[in-house]
Amino acid sequence: MFWGKKTRPTAREAILKGVREDNVRLRQPGFTHRMSTRRPRRERWLTLAAAILVAGASLHHLLKVAEGNAPAPQAVAQPAPSPAAVAKIAKATPDMVTDAAPVTPLKIGEAGDNVKDLMGLSTRTIMIDAGHGGRDPGAVSKGGLREKDITLDVAARLKRILEQQRGYQILMSRHDDHFVPLHDRAKLANEKNVDLFISIHVNYMPGNAINAVETYYFGNYQDAATRELAKLENRESGYSISEFEKLGRDMQDRIKLQESMALAKSIQGSLLKNIRAQNERVLDTGVRPAPFIVLYAVKSPSILAEIGSLSSPEAEARLRREDYREQIAGYLAAGITNYLNNQSPSLMESKGGHHHEKQNHTAVHQ
Amino acid sequence: MKNKTTPQSTNNRLLLGIDLGTSRSVVCASNGQQAFVDSYVGWPKDFVARKKLGKDVLFGEEALRHRLSVDLCRPLERGVIKEGSKDQEAVKALIQHLISLVNPADNQEVFAAVGVPAESFKRDKIAISRCLNGVTDALMVVSEPFAVAWGKDLLDNALIIDIGAGTTDFCIMHGTVPGEDDQRTLEVAGDFLDNKLFEALTRAYPKSSITLNMARQFKETLSFVGAAPSPVLVDIPVNGKAEQHDITEQMREACEHIVPGLVETTAELISRYDPEFQDAVRRNIVLAGGGSQIRGLAARIEKEIGAYGPCKVKVVDDAIYTGARGCLALAKDMPETDWEDPAVSGNA
């Protein structure tokens, strides 16, 4: 006998026994992988019960809406912030960390560095895309806070901040709570010939109470989680197969790739640096490529920013606050501004003279 | 291999630890010998190739060198055995070759513990187990990161991150056999970084003659994340003449791809752990596999995960042999009665 009759196995012995039993099971006739991955019965019943509860709650809500007695949504306040909140943010602005590490555009070869700089291309129109909307609430926190409400609120604040600070035309893909297919968002952006496309979302990581920020540009996914996120976000895209194939043929766009990456890095850097400067714990899940169809379809440089995670109770509590959403909008604006300021370094002599010079440059183009 | 009906004396038994990887397969034996081979298997395409090569099957560098004359196979690409018998046949041939490299004596029983990528272990352990039936006198299949944990005696409150070529595998240990929920696999690993570096170099230096293999070699010796320890200068042919190129930014850009998924998965696994012991796990993270040698990676993970509490990330001393040594340790520690179970020894 390996173990004494009255001696409990040590942890090592127990693990070895488990390895042996696992291997013995493999050799049993009829053993399949499904057997090894089958969830325990209790867990399956709990999942079914949860699904029934969720379905019942949804049906109840739908009936209430139909009767016109829908409970007041966990409303995020209307986009217009209170003067006190604006004053508070305005005061905080000088302390805001805006000097995120300068983003160096990708060098693309001997013939020149940044194609955009080489061609003297400028940015004039920016579209802000508030993710989800209408019948698509996006992620919903345990407390009922909906992603679509956060994104619309932050998008409106960002629009206002950018309009105040820069001389750009700022557009929005939606101005209220209605459903806009991804196809229509991209179509609008392309029809308006936007120069930058910023899509705002809020993440939800099941079983994970950590707050995290991440920023995506278009590319192939690197992990299963990103693949699944892309599938979720691409639902009801509005695109047909033939339209998608045509998009593929138009996609060889070096400017878009390098500028999207640069913009994503700048925004991620600003979000992270500024959120951490406020003594808030946040995980940097980085700048990543992902096959989000809206980023694929928009012709201009485009990014998708996950500004927090609704699965984190702390993040949810913060996102419920007007002043916090105003701060987030400010961080996004800082990231965009930093990207724009670093676009054409040859045009800038110094930081002090840069704003004036950029405005003149913009005025000439206008 | 011989089909024994009765177990022989343990004196005539050779224990093996085998690390079956996407890029490289390694063997460590109880007779003190160890070896590794690149995970390529090639069969001569026709009788002409067979005559020229003088062998029925080639392995590793030799198979790659003669890739035009052989049907080349890289089993466990992306960390899983692809459907069909060819990969299974290749795995079998590879294991037999590895065994031959450690010179088992005649009539010596061979008992092997084989470590495979975590994803392959989840999906293909049955296929692996069955295709190796008869290759050894007794066989145990385990997941590779678990084997690393065993070899380093990190059985409790520990997180192993094995960064290989095809996959990056995570295994969190809590004092029991790790289940599927304790393990994760990402497809961002060495091969992915090679491709990213190759793409970046091709974009930056379109006139230079760069190959994927060159990119891989640059990465294996000069990879880093974060601040560059020193400029990364390499020679690349331009119109047939070697010229020095500064590839610092391209190397950083490529290697940084591994960070987000690593950080997120690490944080997610730790967040699911018993809250009372999360600090202990955070202080006990180990990087293994070839990718563990990326300079600055351990410090970067410490910095990011450190936002949630004190964090310590260690790197294994020997990225090549750690996995196989862990499998060998498992083979040695496995009780004899367990090896002699007919279901394990194949005598059922």
Contact A109 B180 (CB under 8 A): no
pLDDT of residue A245: 59
| Residue A339: C-alpha distances to residues A102, B106, B313 (Å) | 8, 69, 33
Determine the pLDDT at residue B22: 85
* pLDDT value, residue B118: 80
3-state secondary structure of B196: helix
Mean pLDDT of A5-33: 73
- What the block records as the tokens of B43 is 């069969």
Inter-chain touch B177–A107, beta carbons under 8 Å:
no
Q: How far apart are CA B116 and CA B128, in angstroms?
A: 9
- Residue B29 DSSP symbol: E
Judging contacts by C-beta atoms under 8 Å, the chain B residues touching residue A29 are: none
What is the tens place of the pLDDT at every residue in A165-190?
767 899 999 999 999 999 899 999 99
Percentage helix, strand, coil for chain B under 3-state DSSP, each rounded to 5: 45, 25, 30
The rounded percent of chain A whose pLDDT value lies above 90 is 31
Q: Which of A148-157, A353-362, B212-221 has the highest mean pLDDT?
A: A148-157
- Contact list in B for residue A286 (CB cut-off 8 A) is 256, 259-260, 263-264
**Higher pLDDT pick, A205 / B310:** B310
Letter for the amino acid at A64? K
3-state secondary structure of B335: coil
Inter-residue contact B186 to B291 (CB < 8 Å): no
DSSP state of A133: B
Cβ within 8 Å, pair B308-A205: no
List the beta bridge partners of residue B14: B110
Q: Check: CB of residue B142 under 8 Å from CB of residue B327.
A: yes
pLDDT digits (tens, 9 = 90+) for A214-254: 999 987 666 666 777 777 777 767 777 666 656 654 544 77
CB contacts, 8 Å: B192 with chain A: 222
Percent with pLDDT over 70 in chain A:
57
To the nearest whole Å, the CA of B149 is away from the closest chain A CA by 12
Predicted pLDDT at A232: 75
How far away is chain A from the Cα of B203, in angstroms, using its nearest Cα? 5
Q: Which residues of chain B have pLDDT under 50?
A: 1-9, 347-348
Mean pLDDT of A147-168: 90
Of the partner residues A23, A106, A209, the one whose CB lies closest to the CB of residue B141: A23
- For residue A51, is pLDDT > 70? no
Structure confidence by residue, pLDDT tens digits, A279-320:
777 888 888 888 888 888 898 999 999 999 999 888 999 999
CB-based contact A218:A260 (threshold 8 Å): yes
CA distance B325 to B54: 33
Q: Distance between CA A19 and CA B338 in Å, rounded? A: 10
3-state secondary structure of A361: helix
Q: What is the pLDDT of residues A77-134, one digit of tens each?
A: 444 444 443 333 333 333 444 444 444 433 333 343 455 555 555 667 999 999 999 9
pLDDT at A72: 41
- What the block records as the tokens of A111 is 């013939």
Confirm if A110 and A346 have CB atoms less than 8 A apart. Answer: no
**Which has more pLDDT, B96 or A38?**
B96
CA B111 to chain centroid: 20
| Cβ contact, residue pair B175, A17, below 8 Å | no
Residue B24, strand partner residues: B38
Strand, helix or coil for residue A258 = helix
Residue B89 class from Cβ within 10 Å (0-12 exposed, 13-18 middle, 19+ buried)? middle
Q: Which residues from A are below 8 Å from B175, CB to CB?
A: 11, 15
State residue B73 phi and psi, 5-degree precision.
Answer: -135, 140
Angle between helix A254-277 and helix A322-341 axes, rounded to 10 deg: 140
Residue A226 has which token pair?
């990103």
Tell which residue, B116, B121, B105, B94, has the closest CA to residue B36.
Answer: B94
The b/e string for B129-140 (b: 16+ C-beta within 10 A; e otherwise) is: bebbeebbbbbb
Mean pLDDT of all residues belonging to chain A: 72
Tokens (6 digits) for B232: 């990364």
Residue appearing with tokens 């700089």: A117
Give the span between the Cα atoms of B109 and B12, in whole angstroms: 6
Give the tokens for residue A120: 């003297």
- b/e string for A42-70 if b means 16 or more Cβ within 10 A? eeeeeeeeeeeeeeeeeeeeeeeeeeeee
- Cross-chain residue pair B140–A15, CB shorter than 8 Å: no
Nearest CA in chain A to B115: A19
pLDDT value of residue A122: 65
- Which of A107, A223, A314 would you mutate first to test chain B, the one with the most B CBs within 10 A? A223
Nearest CA-CA distance, residue A3 and chain B, Å: 10
